[in-house]
Amino acid sequence: MRFEPGFVKGLREDLTKINEEYTKRFKRHGGLDEQTLINLIANQHNVDHSCNAEQPSSQDVVDYNVLTHSHAILGEKAVKNGEVAYVVLAGQPKALMTLPKLGISLVAHKLLQSIIVSHDNEILNVPTFFMTQPEFMKQFAEHLNCMSPPPQCTVFEQFESYRLAPDNSIDFVSSGVPNMHPCGHGDVGPSLIESGILSDNPRIKHVIVVNVDNILASPDMAILGQHILSQSDVTCEIVKSKESDIGGRIAWVDGRLQAVEDFRLNPEFVKESPYYNTNTMIISVKLHGDGTVLEKSLKTKLLCNMKDCCNNIQRHLMRNTF
């Protein structure tokens, strides 16, 4: 018989005490399931990529300055054809923070950035979708409704999990009611699928993903054009590293070019890393002929835990304007 630690048995027992309403919120299609949660708790360990990580070369990067007018025109064409979506990761209340001097919120700022002026002075609107935590949905909607006129955008929920106490037990607010918390931005792929946004908009081929608090992150038509030409699954915007940067680095791991978090890499590797990941990316969405999403492709091939790594990154773009 396989030995199971006492805290794992306790966790299993806690899971049976949760009200069905919250179990449904946890068990969403493409999200974390109870057995996976138990396995993660029972087999806690830090993955160390430092032993087989290699620095990227200049051949792995496309300099933003080499992109041309033709790249931008190609990106504009994709927007005109309804092939592009602008997804803003806005899971925290800070999304409603007012920007100094501008007098508008971060959310409003992102909506303005979704408006593109084409090379021939045509106004293009990139359909905008905000992902936020379920507990924040009502406040988010109220904020949008206060704008005049109300913006044409969609808000969808990110996934949730049960908050654990330091002893790995479920943190209950009251009997049967667990303390829920958002999983993070790594679930943008399955959240998009479950929301029905992609299946309802089968013409979408490319999803531009940005953080709401990255002021300069916006739809860039030249980068979009380069992404389309390269036929990449994922294009990440990166910048030259600074000593104070904390977050994702670019590295070859297990034969794949990836964005890897600092804590998974040797400190010396991080110190020597030439590039820093801005978490602004373009993801190619694969669809069946009937408009349904190729879920396995989107979740594993195209987007594998945004906070950990992006598989099949064939091109990286360095924006010197950041």
Task: Please report which confidence band the pLDDT of residue 2 belongs to, taking 50, 70 and 90 as the band edges.
Answer: low
Identify the CA nearest to 206 among candidates 152, 146, 278, 126: 126
Greater pLDDT, 298 or 20: 20
What is the three-class DSSP state of 191? helix
Which residues touch 301 (CB under 8 Å, ≥6 apart)?
Answer: 233, 311, 312
Mean pLDDT across the stretch 94-106?
92
Mean pLDDT across the stretch 216-233?
93
Inform me whether the pLDDT recorded for 301 exceeds 70.
no
CA gap 90, 77 in Å, rounded = 27
Q: Which pLDDT belongs to residue 47?
A: 53
In degrees, rounded to 5, the angle at the alpha carbon of residue 136 between the alpha carbons of residues 135 and 140 is 150
Inform me whether the pLDDT recorded for 299 exceeds 90.
no
Q: Which pLDDT belongs to residue 45?
A: 59
Least confident of 134-148, 200-214, 242-256: 242-256
What is the three-class DSSP state of 169? coil
Greater pLDDT, 291 or 263: 263
Least confident of 1-10, 72-81, 126-135, 164-173: 1-10
Greater pLDDT, 104 or 262: 104
Task: Please report which confidence band the pLDDT of residue 46 belongs to, taking 50, 70 and 90 as the band edges.
Answer: low
* pLDDT above 70: percentage of residues in the chain: 85
Q: Which pLDDT belongs to residue 52?
A: 77
* pLDDT above 90: percentage of residues in the chain: 44
Q: Which pLDDT belongs to residue 296?
A: 43
The token pair that represents 12 in the structure block? 């299993």
Mean pLDDT across the stretch 274-293?
76
- How confident is the prediction for the chain on average, in pLDDT? 83
Give 151's DSSP letter.
P
Q: Which pLDDT belongs to residue 189?
A: 86
CA gap 178, 167 in Å, rounded = 15
Domains with residue ranges and CATH for the chain: 6-318 (3.90.550.10)
